[in-house]
Every structure is written in structure tokens, then in C-alpha cells.
């Protein structure tokens, strides 16, 4: 999982320079301090502020405004004080007053924009940033801060020229290189992102965020040694940098005397003060490290803490899940498929291969093996199937897709299949076979059968206790809210198995190939040959060297698939004993199936 950390600049507090820009200062004397001019009062207030005497500085700024209400530098200075006191709303209103009095000063717009960005008022931040950049085209901070605001708004294309302009002004501005890399990566330009992150890290080797982001790119590429070195460099620069600890933990096996483990343990007391997302990552990293050294009780304590926090952020609607399962089984009945039995594939030269099942059941391993075959392209976890189905149905208005499917004609199913093929084959136009390993596609097996008659469907299976606990011990993206509580996780597994049993009952025999993780571990060649035969591919020895496959991998299994088959994940759950009893009670009946 990637964590981007947008480093931000301090607000510009150069009061002396600001005063020099305005030689036409009011000539009034401060009435409460005879003989003290406005300019002298401002300089004295700045000295008080710089010395930490904030109340005295504020008092003097307000005395200046009492003598000269339109003196905008004092309004701006008060805004900076309010920002420093943790009052962003007040700070924004005070600096806005300065802007209203004189809108020609880039510093005002830049600071207003940065304060509004931090408050999430991105429209105001972007408008202020654009004005600052226009007023001061050679000011690196104006362009960089505007890039941050655009990045936060999700407009990565617009952010790129801002960072690039900042780098034209100062090619050694490592913060711009790092955030340029972030924007490029969001836009899918992995190579450009890697170059930008590498440049940032080369300029400032102790730039923890750049090292972390570069390490994450290397992880996806299978350059695990390089990735580890980057994460270690980030931790050396910032020992409390949770993101780097979290990213590193999946790439290594901790030992009792590991200095990184010692660092993690020292953060236990202070971790409660971290933002909640960082607390979550910290607990998952600590759980992994403790598990590695065999401290299973304390490992579970850490995992449970991380899961509780994440579960609170991502509630799971089980009633809705039950209703969707029930309605799916009602619509996709044996009679329904019999009414749509006369299907013929429109494209027999290209074969989509779906790898699906419960998360952490071996889907990434299966795809890594198959994608090692020279005629098959591994596309990873794609959203295309669900997006095609949703965009062409009334689910856009909140209606479940199966309600539309119930009324569709064969031609409509074919049109959906064509739309999916068009989207996916842009990834590898010359490929004969492309895998889509989104695990949750098991929910759409009925649609796959109707949309893509020549599709191959491989169902990854694993002992429910190992599969579920592997989910529980991992932090995923925001698409798996069911995974962070043993109860919701176990019941999700039950629904998944009930739906898979339904597909077996209503679809023709052989529509789905079941592949058990435990069988794969015991006989990787035999199971690999079985899968290739089902897909329709001849044997190729490269499939046994899957760990040497250099394709990008962006799932939680990024480190595992770079290694030969190992058996230590089988029955892993047993090490945690009674802690997993609530889960075992829910899935017990499915362990022998």
C-alpha cells in the first residue's frame, strides 16, 4: 500500500521584507506609546512574535490598527499569529482583510491559499494560489503551494505544470520533485514517478517521504532489496515515520534483536497521539513484527487495535449484504440461465481469465504463475467489470445491478461483454489471454457467464481460518470494510461460500475451476498444469519460475510472489489460539468443503 506524504511549507512570515515593500507607511504615532511610529511598532511587534511573546505582539498589532485601520500588513501579521495559535478560520478571515485592502501582494494570497488548503477549502486555496503565482511568476513557493492545492483537489494534470515551474526556478527543490512523482503516479506514469522520486531522494537523501515513495515503486517492480534500502533510509531520517515502518514490515522477517523492531516498540506510548490513519498503520506493522519473532499474544493485541480503529472508520452494512445475496440468488436461477442458453462468443481469439475468491486465498500467486506464460498478460486487480456493469445499468441511481440483469436480452449481455473486452485489451492489445484477478468478482460470476461466454473462471480456495486471519492481519484499501472485525469477516466468508455454492448449482458443470491453496503449495507443478489446461494454454516451464517474473504487483502479496513456494502460511491461524475462537465458530462448517 502506498502512502503519499505531501510536505508543506511554513507560512511566509517575512514582516521586515513586507514593510520594505511599502515605503508609504502611515505617519501616525501610536497614541498609547508616544513617540512610537507605526513602522517602529510593527518592527517591535515582529520581534515580540519571533521571541514567542505572542500576546504582547498581538496587542501591539492591534494598537497599530487602532491608529491605522487600513494598514494591511498588520491584518496579515495578525492572521499569522492566529494561524500559529491553531485558529485557522480566524487566520483566514484576517488575511482576507489584508487582501481586500491590497490585493497586489503575492505573499498574502499565497499564505491565504495555504491556510485554506490545510482547512480543506480547496476552491479558495486554488484561487488564491493562482493569484499568487500570477503576481509572483518567479516565486517558487507560489507555484509549489498551488501544486499542493491542486493535488489535494485531485486535479493531478493541473498540478504537474505547477511543480515543473517550481523546478524551473530551482531544479534542486526536492519537495517539488517528490510531489511531482506523486502526481505522475496518480496519473499512471510509473516510470516518470520513479524518476521524480529518485531525483528527490538524490538531492536530499534524508527526505523521508521521497525515500518511502521510491521504495514503494521498487516494491511493485519486485526490486525488494532496493525497496528495503529506501524504507530503511526513510526510517533513519525519521525514526517515527510510521509509513516507512509499515511498508518495510511486509518485505522482511523480523528477529528479536532487529533495531527496527526496537524502534517500533519505543513508539507504543506515543502512538496514541498520532493521527488515526497513522495509528492504524503502526499497529499493523507492530503486529507483523511481533508475529515474526513468535510473540503471538502481543501480535494479536496489536492487530486487534489496528482493526478496531479501521473498523470504526469503515462500517459494514451487513443487512444490505444479506439482501444483495438473497436477491442475486433469486434472479440468477437455473431457469434464468436456461433462458439465456444460446450464447456464442463474439471474439474467440481473445480469452479473459478471471481469478477470484476470498481475499488472501492465493489469487495473486495464481496470477503470477499464469502470467509467467509468454502468451498471457497479468493485468492485476481491475475495476473494469464492476464499472462496466454499473455504468450501463440503473445502479448509478442506487438500484442493484441484478434488477437490470433480470430484464436484459442476450444482445445486451453481449454489449456489456464487448465493452469490458474493449477496456481491458487496451492494456495488452497483442495478448491472447488477460487475467483479471479482482477477488470480489465472484459476486459477478453469473454476469461473466452471460457477458463473456468464452471466459475462464478460476476460483482460489483456502482454509477459511487462514484466509480470514490473513485478511485480519493486513491493512487493505478502502474497498474491504468487512475485513476489520472477526464477526463481519466470518459472515462475509459465509456469504461468499453460499454464493459460490449457488453458482455451482445453477451453472453448467466446468464453468468454474476450483484451485485450493493448500494443494498448490504441495504440488505447484501439478496444479499449474491443471490451470493451464483449463485455460487452454500449453505447458511452459516459465510458470514454475513465477517468482522471477518482473511484472508489477500492487497487492498485499507483493513480497510473497517474489519467492518460491513456501508452506509456512498453511495453518498459520493456529498460532493465535483462542483469540480466533469467535471467527472459528462462524466458519467451522465450511472448513471441510
| CA-closest candidate to residue 130, choices 148, 115, 143, 141 | 143
The dihedral region occupied by 166, where left means phi > 0, alpha psi between -120 and 50, and beta the remainder, is: alpha
Residue 548, helix vs strand vs coil? helix
Rounded distance between C-alpha atoms, residue 73 and residue 78, angstroms: 9
Query: What are phi and psi for residue 591, nearest 5 degrees?
Result: -75, -25
Tell me the backbone φ, ψ of residue 95, rounded to 5 degrees.
Answer: -70, -35
Provide DSSP, 356-415.
EESTTSSHHHHHHHHHTSTTEEE--S--HHHHHHHHTSGGGGT--HHHHHTT--HHHHHH
Exposure string (b/e) for 360-381, b if CB count within 10 Å is 16 or more?
Answer: bbbbbbbbbbbbbbeebbbbbb
Percent of the chain with pLDDT over 70: 89
Q: Enumerate domains of the chain plus CATH numbers.
A: 1-170 (1.25.40.10), 318-332+349-590 (3.40.50.300)
pLDDT at 19 over 50: no
CA-closest candidate to residue 216, choices 238, 175, 248, 261: 248
Candidate from 40-44, 75-79, 128-132, 156-160 with smallest mean pLDDT: 40-44
CA angle 282, 574, 309 (to 5 degrees): 25
DSSP at 30:
P
CA–CA distance, 370 with 363 (Å, rounded to integer): 11
Looking at residue 570, its pLDDT comes to 84
Are 18 and 105 in contact by the 8 Å Cβ rule? The answer is yes
Report the Cα 256 to chain-centroid distance in Å. Answer: 31
Helix (H, G, I), strand (E, B) or coil at 579: helix
In contact, 569 and 362? CB cutoff 8 Å: no
Work out the end-to-end distance of the chain between its first and last CA atoms, rounded to an integer number of angstroms: 32
pLDDT tens digits for 571-591? 899 999 999 999 999 999 988
pLDDT in tens, 338-388: 999 877 777 778 999 999 999 999 999 999 999 999 999 999 999 999 999
Whether 6 shows a pLDDT value over 50: the answer reads: no
pLDDT at 1: 36
Mean pLDDT, rounded, of the chain: 89
Strand order of the sheet with strand 376-378? 376-378, 433-436, 351-357, 456-461, 512-516
Cα gap 353→48, rounded to integer Å: 69
Residue 15 pLDDT > 80, yes or no? Answer: no
Amino acid at each position: 500500500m502506498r502512502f503519499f506524504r505531501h510536505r508543506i511549507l511554513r507560512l511566509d512570515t517575512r514582516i521586515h521584507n513586507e514593510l520594505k515593500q511599502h515605503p508609504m507607511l502611515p505617519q501616525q504615532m501610536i497614541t498609547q506609546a508616544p513617540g512610537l511610529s507605526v513602522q517602529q511598532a510593527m518592527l517591535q511587534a515582529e520581534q515580540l512574535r519571533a521571541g514567542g511573546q505572542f500576546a504582547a505582539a498581538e496587542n501591539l498589532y492591534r494598537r497599530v490598527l487602532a491608529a491605522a485601520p487600513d494598514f494591511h500588513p498588520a491584518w496579515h501579521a495578525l492572521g499569522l499569529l492566529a494561524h500559529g495559535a491553531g485558529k485557522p478560520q480566524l487566520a483566514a478571515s484576517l488575511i482576507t482583510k489584508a487582501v481586500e485592502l491590497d490585493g497586489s501582494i503575492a505573499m498574502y494570497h499565497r499564505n491565504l491559499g495555504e491556510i485554506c488548503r490545510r482547512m480543506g477549502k480547496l476552491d479558495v486555496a486554488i484561487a488564491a494560489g493562482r493569484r499568487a503565482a500570477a503576481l509572483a511568476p518567479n516565486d517558487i513557493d507560489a507555484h509549489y503551494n498551488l501544486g499542493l492545492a491542486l493535488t489535494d483537489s485531485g486535479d493531478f494534470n493541473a498540478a504537474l505544470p505547477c511543480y515543473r515551474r517550481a523546478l524551473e526556478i530551482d531544479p534542486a527543490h526536492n519537495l517539488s520533485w517528490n510531489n511531482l512523482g506523486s502526481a505522475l503516479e496518480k496519473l499512471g506514469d510509473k516510470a516518470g514517478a520513479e524518476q521524480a522520486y529518485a531525483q528527490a531522494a538524490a538531492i536530499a537523501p534524508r527526505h523521508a517521504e521521497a525515500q518511502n515513495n521510491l521504495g514503494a515503486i521498487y516494491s511493485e517492480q519486485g526490486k525488494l532489496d532496493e525497496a528495503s534500502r529506501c524504507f530503511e533510509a526513510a526510517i533513519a531520517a525519521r525514526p517515527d515515520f510510521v509509513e516507512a515502518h509499515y511498508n518495510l514490515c511486509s518485505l522482511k522477517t523480523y528477529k528479536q534483536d532487529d533495531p527496527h523492531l526496537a524502534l517500533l516498540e519505543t513508539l507504543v506510548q506515543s502512538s496514541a497521539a498520532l493521527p488515526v490513519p497513522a495509528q492504524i498503520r503502526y499497529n499493523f506493522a507492530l503486529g507483523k513484527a511481533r508475529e515474526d519473532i513468535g510473540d503471538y499474544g502481543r501480535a494479536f493485541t496489536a492487530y486487534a487495535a489496528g482493526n478496531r480503529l479501521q473498523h470504526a472508520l469503515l462500517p459494514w452494512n451487513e443487512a444490505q449484504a444479506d439482501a444483495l445475496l438473497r436477491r442475486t440468488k433469486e434472479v440468477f436461477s437455473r431457469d434464468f440461465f436456461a433462458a439465456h442458453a444460446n450464447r456464442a462468443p463474439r471474439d474467440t481469439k481473445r480469452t479473459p481469465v478471471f481469478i477470484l475468491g476470498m481475499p488472501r486465498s492465493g489469487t495473486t500467486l495464481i496470477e503470477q504463475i499464469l502470467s509467467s506464460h509468454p502468451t498471457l498478460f497479468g493485468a492485476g486487480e481491475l475495476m473494469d467489470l464492476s464499472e462496466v456493469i454499473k455504468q450501463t445499468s440503473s445502479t448509478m441511481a442506487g438500484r442493484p445491478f441484478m434488477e437490470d440483469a433480470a430484464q436484459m436480452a442476450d444482445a445486451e449481455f453481449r454489449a456489456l461483454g464487448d465493452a469490458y473486452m474493449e477496456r481491458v485489451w487496451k492494456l495488452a492489445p497483442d495478448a491472447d489471454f488477460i487475467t483479471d484477478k479482482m477477488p470480489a468478482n465472484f459476486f459477478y460470476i453469473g454476469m461473466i457467464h452471460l457477458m463473456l461466454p468464452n471466459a475462464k473462471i478460476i476460483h482460489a480456495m483456502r482454509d477459511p481460518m487462514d484466509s480470514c486471519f490473513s485478511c485480519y492481519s493486513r491493512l487493505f484499501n478502502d474497498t474491504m470494510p468487512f475485513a476489520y472485525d472477526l464477526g463481519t469477516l466470518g459472515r462475509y466468508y459465509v456469504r461468499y461460500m453460499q454464493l459460490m455454492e449457488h453458482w455451482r448449482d445453477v451453472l453448467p458443470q466446468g464453468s468454474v475451476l476450483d484451485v485450493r491453496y493448500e494443494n498448490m503449495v504441495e504440488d505447484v507443478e501439478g496444479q499449474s498444469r491443471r490451470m493451464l489446461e483449463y485455460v487452454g494454454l500449453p505447458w511452459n516451464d516459465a510458470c514454475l519460475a513465477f517468482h522471477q517474473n518482473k511484472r508489477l504487483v500492487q497487492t498485499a502479496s507483493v513480497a510473497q510472489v517474489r519467492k518460491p513456494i513456501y508452506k509456512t502460511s498453511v495453518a498459520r491461524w493456529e498460532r493465535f489460539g483462542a483469540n480466533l475462537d469467535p471467527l472459528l465458530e462462524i466458519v467451522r462448517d465450511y472448513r471441510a468443503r
